[in-house]
Amino acid sequence: MSSSNDYVPVDSTTLIMDGWFHERGPLWPGQAMSLRVQSVVHHSRSPYQDILIFDSTDHGRVLVLDGVIQVTERDEFAYQEMISHLPLYGHPCPRRVLVIGGGDGGVLREVAKHSCVESITLCEIDSEVIRLSKEHLPQLSVGYGDPRVEVKVMDGNVFMAANPGTFDVIITDSSDPIGPAGVLFETPFYDAMYQALAPGGVVCTQGENFWLHTDLIKPLIDGIKGKYSTVEYANISIPTYPSGGIGFIIGTKGREGDGVRRPKRREEAREVVEGFKYYDHEVHEAAFVLPAFARKAIYGE
């Protein structure tokens, strides 16, 4: 796992060659993801990362941070819905929700679909991601318009330390564990989330890909399962992420049994779920079913 000390900043425009953007991240050696570029919409460097936004010929508008694709308009709903609704429907009555990262606003958009949620706090360290998403990614940033949303531009660790035992659900929508985001994949960060959770609460974090990253996933799960009541790994299909999929690590505080493997509030949610593009209650349960090799590598089963 890389740290901020050995992180080398990336100029994302150098990855555009012959009209194609080529994502070649250090966490997935030997493979690349390429999208045909129609036009570059924006490129700049914030105090934290390189930010590129371009229009592609077939995947709509694309957000790239430090050379890594974060969202495309074509398939972003798969990630945003699942990282949000797995923990939210896994909780019987989430009222206070904290989103760490997720400056593009996609998770806010999904959380706001839950009428039982009373407050949504977004804690994003990079204000430029928020500003540029509002300007260039209205499909995602629409969530900022919800009156329940409060934005904190600051370090999520600092914010959680000041708000112990507060949140029913914490969702960490992070980039990959390279450079500044590396701390979000370490045990102390999960300890901080645990302290900020209310009893019965749920955390859900971006958990990398089981085809590529079991060497990151297993030690993290092993390191936190002694603190959380239940810890599970769920996975989804999304074509523009490495190897066509991404996972989530989901932990609960003070809740035994099946954790969030089975959705709650089924009847209450029926009309809302019918409007989703990826998530439904059957997909919720199926997300926790892993192929044999991944289950063995992650859980030792």
List b or e across 271-292, with b for residues whose CB sees 16 or more CB atoms inside 10 angstroms.
Answer: eebeebebbbbebbeebbebee
98: nearest Cα among 181, 217, 194: 194
Do 30 and 126 lie in one domain? The reply is no
Whether residue 88 is found in the same domain as residue 226: yes
Query: Is 201 found in the same domain as 238?
Result: yes
Return the structure tokens found at 184.
């979000």
Q: Indicate if 173 belongs to the active site.
A: yes
| Residue 4 lies inside a defined structural domain of this protein | no
Q: Where is the domain boundary, 53, 72, 91?
A: 72
Contact by Cβ (8 Å): 89, 82: no
Q: Are 248 and 231 in contact (CB under 8 A)?
A: no
SS3 content of the chain, % helix, strand, coil (to 5): 35, 30, 40
Residue 217 sits in which domain range? 76-299
**Active-site entry in 50, 173, 176, 280:** 173
Residue 5 domain-assigned (yes or no): no
Q: Give the count of domains, the chain.
A: 2
Q: Does residue 121 fall inside a structural domain?
A: yes
Domain-located, residue 192: yes
Q: Are residues 141 and 44 in the same domain?
A: no
DSSP 144: G
Work out whether strand 230-237 and strand 245-252 pair parallel, antiparallel, or are unpaired.
antiparallel
Say if residue 63 is in the same domain as residue 113: no
29 and 115 share a domain? Answer: no
Does 3 fall in a domain?
A: no
Q: Are residues 158 and 34 in the same domain?
A: no
Residue carrying structure tokens 């997935």: 28
Both 41 and 155 in one domain: the answer is no
Say if residue 202 is in the same domain as residue 68: no
Tell me whether residue 2 is in a domain.
no
Question: What CATH number is associated with residue 43?
Answer: 2.30.140.10
Structure tokens at 271: 């009309």
Return the amino acid letter for 259: G
pLDDT at 233 (0 to 100)? 97
Q: Which of 72, 87, 103 is the last residue of a domain?
A: 72
Spatial strand order of the sheet with 245-252 comes to 149-152, 119-123, 96-101, 167-173, 197-206, 245-252, 230-237
- Tell me, yes or no, whether 169 and 289 share the same domain: yes
In this structure, the answer to whether residues 34 and 124 fall within a common structural domain is: no
Dist CA 255 CA 152 (whole Å): 29
Within a domain: 45: yes
- % of the chain residues with pLDDT over 70: 92
Phi/psi at 103 (5° precision):
-60, -20
Can you give the CATH number for the domain in which 139 is found? 3.40.50.150
Residue 153 CB-density burial (10 A; 0-12 exposed, 13-18 middle, 19+ buried): middle
What is the C-alpha separation between 16 and 144, in angstroms, rounded? 31
**Cβ-Cβ contacts under 8 Å for 286 (sequence gap 6 or more):** none
Q: Which residues of the chain have pLDDT under 70?
A: 1-8, 175-185, 266-271
The token pair at 158 is 């600092």
Quick one: tokens of 86?
A: 């797995």
Task: Write down the pLDDT at residue 288.
Answer: 97
Strand partners, 45: 50
pLDDT for res 1: 30
Which residue in the block uniquely carries the two structure tokens 């509030």?
265
- 7 is a domain residue: no
The kind and range of the H/E element at 268 are helix 266-273
Q: From CA 80, how far away is CA 106, in angstroms rounded?
A: 6
b/e burial code for range 15-31 (CB count within 10 A of at least 16 → b):
bbeeeebebebebbeee
- 27 with 148, same domain: the answer is no
Q: Please identify, among 72, 87, 114, the residue that sits at the C-terminal boundary of a domain.
A: 72
